[in-house]
Structure 1
Amino acid sequence: MKDPETGASSAPHGASGGSNVPNGAGNSAKNGLGQHGKTVQDAQGGQSGSEERRFDQNPKKRARRRRRGKSKQSAVPAENALSAAAPVSPAEPGNPSAKSAKKRRPNRYRRRGRSGNKAPAQNAEVNAAAAQAQPLVAPQPVIRDTIRKENRHAGAGLYAALDLGTNNCRLLVASPTRPGQFRVVDAFSRIVRLGEGLGATGLLNENAMNRAIEALKICRDKLDSHDVRRARLIATEACRQATNGEEFLARVKEETGLDLEIINRQTEARLAVSGCGTLVERETDAVVLFDIGGGSSEIALIDVSERRSPRLAEHIIAWTSLPVGVVTLAERFGGRDVTTDNFAVMVDHVAELINDFTERHKLGDLVKSQNFHLLGTSGTVTTLAGIHLGLERYDRRRIDGIWMQNDDVTEMTSRLLSWSFDERVANPCIGADRADLVLAGCAILDAIRNVWPSQKLRVADRGLREGILTELMSRDGAWRNRWLRPSA
């Protein structure tokens, strides 16, 4: 049969092609023929054959055969070894001799079916059929951990806590995560000074109530925008003390639709403790936790030396609520221009209130232990921590849980006393809203430190809202239900 390009005779596809290679080489060449082989030139006749030799794809196997002398090329005479081993390209047009064709070294690692190594039509049809039979997307295996993760987030619901205090209006919306913890979805905080002038008149004034209602309307809109499963809305000292406190809450319900409850001092102290449970470490023996508010200050004595339950509030052995906060103390003694003598008078006033707390020594010798410390949750201690760190702007992530040594607290208080009102306003951790209140808070803190001296203070940027969320989720079984293994 004539080759259409060279005019040389060629054997039918798959035949030996009339090669004069000795028997050993001929058998080897014959055994090496295949649909995916490379065309080799006849060793003596110089005719282009259609025989194809398959190169071994395993380099280690090929090297092993060469070492043993069993390679296919071993039976080819030396003068014909090159022509038998190296495939050549077809002869150039106009040159009938296949010997004159340009030889090209084979790429032994070239994958079959690529350009330059064409597969026969029969093999192409097989590959096309196999590709058509193979599914486009492999089915994904069902992983039980993935199902559990989806179930944890499905139907978990959101929880909300609103705290309307003497100085601030705060809101938190969160979803439960790991046991004892939650992820904040939405938050709001605004200084409204609801208790402004309360100490002098015993009433909530109109401007203060208007500011509070405007903030509560924002809270209402945020609550309406979320699918809240449980919520608790509380009011504290300002509404407790004010003669028109109940009347104000009725107005709040009419104008905003929010139904707030006035909680007692014991509940307020318990919620403050519940919100700080994760900040009391395992090796701790005792803690004095305090929450310096706008109109009152709660103090709780906590003993965890004998046992430890998940709910820190169960370890309260004594508590008190001082009828003084940063707003009421600043209004009584002045908070704008505070001298050293004026500051000492404020400290003495708070100390007298603490002396009325008859159970203040109930912790006994535990306060002398190395595992005793103070735990403060209020704007006063977070402000001191921000100044101590030299923050250019307040960052809760760096403040919450930080430890401060007793000398550091003393130094920060002295620095604040040395600043003028304008310098306090200029500090990014204080600002205009707290500049006239921060030293009153420091006076309350100093009185607490004098009664329960400790070498270290832990700062908590959390409080009643976190305590409300913790109790709601715990009572609702949110953490237990989210971590139950789903039934098969």
Structure 2
Amino acid sequence: MTSVGSGSSGTARPDAVRVGAVDCGTNSIRLLVAEGVPGEAGLVDVTREMRIIRLGEGVDATGRLSDGAISRCRTALTDYTATMAELGVQSVRMVATSATRDARNKDEFFGMTADVLGKHFPGAVAELISGQTEAELTFAGGVVDLAPADGPFVVADLGGGSTEIVVGEYDDGELRLLGAESLDIGCVRITERTLPSDPHTAEELAEGRRVISEALEGARELPLGRARRFVGVAGTFTTISAVAQGLETYDPERLHNSVITLDQMREVCDRLAAATVSERRGLGPMHPGRADVIGGGALVAAALCELMSDRAGITEITVSEKDILDGIAMSVLTRLAG
């Protein structure tokens, strides 16, 4: 678990409120408690937490969420709900993405979230959002701290089960999406499907790259060539940035909006894909729960870099700590503003 920031139950402004955002993905579940004023732009972090729960473990093969995965999620969500209540959260939104979209027993999962969240936030339940909504929330969070004049932007959210690629810009201060695709390639899905060995064999890596290349055909119609800035969000990208920078520990402040050349990205991706799980775990900024799947994530990240180089002539990537979680929190504030 990682936690960033702290806060008490008091608010900085009398009209400010505290909101909770929970993002439950294929590999991890994350919490953001933030403070803001409904109807106004801007959020102030109170706390961030992340746990690897591997909700999507085996879903690609079985079509079901395992009992163990749902249990791990319940434990983490119980703790997150208690934290939100303790910090004075007034409204919460929880979203679930790729793994639950694919699972036959998703109703069991959503019933669990209603039970856990409802103990402190009556009526709250996880939402199964569409790929389009996921893209919109991802983009809003990923570019929140970037200058609108730097756009148009391409934001890539590389998750456990899927990768969202979103193209957008700001027009007179209003966000305008130019295109979005949700592709079934992520660090867990690619690892489980094509990379069973430790270390991965040359044949496995070639198959992984083939599967990714085939999936990226789904992004062919996106206006990637219009982009002036390429932004990567979520744990695979931030971990690759940490390794590229030679950080000894995972440092969110050093990682947020860090700029890495695509050549650096390719070198680190190749190194991570070729390493053993033990060697990856020995890297200071590597989360232990990410070490066994980041090989698949590195293949996806490298392919995305090649795509942006070819289509937009881009030579670097901005790696953001802000992502769909921040978009979720902003959407709660918007809802409260009416």
Alignment TM-score, normalising by the size of structure 1 = 0.61
1:335-350 pair list within 5 angstroms: 336-350=198-212
User: Among 276, 285, 288, which residue is 2:142 paired with?
Assistant: 276
Q: Higher strand fraction: Structure 1 or Structure 2?
A: 2
Q: Quick check: which has more Rg, 1 or 2?
A: 1
User: Among 22, 25, 35, which residue is 1:162 paired with?
Assistant: 22
- Tell me the distance in 2 between the aligned counterparts of 1:151 and 1:328: 41
1:38-187 pair list within 5 angstroms: 153-176=13-36, 180-187=41-48
Task: Provide the residue aligned with 1:91 in structure 2.
Answer: none
- Tell me the distance in 1 between the aligned counterparts of 2:333 and 2:235: 26
Question: Cα RMSD over matched residues?
Answer: 2.3
Shift of the 281–208 alpha-carbon distance from structure 1 to 2, 3 Å rule, reads same
Asked if 1:263 corresponds to 2:112, the answer is no
- Tell me the distance in 1 between the aligned counterparts of 2:11 and 2:246: 44
By relative contact order (CA 8 Å, sep 6+), the higher-ranking structure is 2
Q: Give, in angstroms, the shift of residue 274 of structure 1.
A: 0.8
Instruction: Write the letter of the residue equivalent to 1:464.
Output: I
Q: Give, in angstroms, the shift of residue 426 of structure 1.
A: 1.0
Identity of aligned residues (%): 29
Task: Provide the residue aligned with 1:202 in structure 2.
Answer: 63
Unaligned 5+ residue runs, structure 2? 1-9, 119-123
Q: Give, in angstroms, the shift of residue 156 of structure 1.
A: 1.5
Instruction: Write the letter of the residue equivalent to 1:176.
Output: G
User: Among 283, 287, 292, which residue is 1:427 paired with?
Assistant: 283
Question: What number of residue pairs does the alignment pair up?
Answer: 318
Q: Give, in angstroms, the shift of residue 412 of structure 1.
A: 1.3
Task: Provide the residue aligned with 1:239 in structure 2.
Answer: 100
Contact 2:199/2:274 (8 A) holds in 1: no
Shift of the 357–155 alpha-carbon distance from structure 1 to 2, 3 Å rule, reads closer
Q: Give, in angstroms, the shift of residue 271 of structure 1.
A: 0.4
User: Among 395, 406, 410, which residue is 2:266 paired with?
Assistant: 410
Asked if 1:320 corresponds to 2:186, the answer is no
Task: Provide the residue aligned with 1:484 in structure 2.
Answer: none
Contact 2:21/2:33 (8 A) holds in 1: yes
- Tell me the alpha carbon deviations over residues 456-482 of structure 1, each in whole angstroms, 9 at most, x when there is no partner: 10001122110011222245449xxxx
Task: Provide the residue aligned with 2:3 in structure 1.
Answer: none
Unaligned 5+ residue runs, structure 1? 1-149, 479-488
Asked if 1:351 corresponds to 2:213, the answer is yes
Q: Give, in angstroms, the shift of residue 200 of structure 1.
A: 0.7
Instruction: Write the letter of the residue equivalent to 2:217.
Output: N
Q: Give, in angstroms, the shift of residue 282 of structure 1.
A: 4.0
Q: Give, in angstroms, the shift of residue 419 of structure 1.
A: 2.8
Give secondary structure in 1 for the equivalent of 2:144: helix
- Tell me the distance in 2 between the aligned counterparts of 1:217 and 1:285: 39
- Tell me the distance in 2 between the aligned counterparts of 1:292 and 1:308: 29
Task: Provide the residue aligned with 1:223 in structure 2.
Answer: 84
Task: Provide the residue aligned with 2:297 in structure 1.
Answer: 441
Instruction: Write the letter of the residue equivalent to 2:208.
Output: M
Contact 1:340/1:417 (8 A) holds in 2: no
User: Among 291, 295, 301, which residue is 2:157 paired with?
Assistant: 291
- Tell me the distance in 1 between the aligned counterparts of 2:213 and 2:32: 33
Instruction: Write the letter of the residue equivalent to 1:378.
Output: A
Runs of 4+ in 1 over 6 A off after TM superposition: none
User: Among 313, 327, 332, which residue is 1:467 paired with?
Assistant: 327
User: Among 397, 401, 404, which residue is 2:253 paired with?
Assistant: 397
Task: Provide the residue aligned with 1:380 in structure 2.
Answer: 236
Instruction: Write the letter of the residue equivalent to 2:194.
Output: F
Q: Give, in angstroms, the shift of residue 303 of structure 1.
A: 4.2
Q: Give, in angstroms, the shift of residue 221 of structure 1.
A: 0.8
Shift of the 324–284 alpha-carbon distance from structure 1 to 2, 3 Å rule, reads same
Contact 2:24/2:30 (8 A) holds in 1: yes
Asked if 1:332 corresponds to 2:201, the answer is no
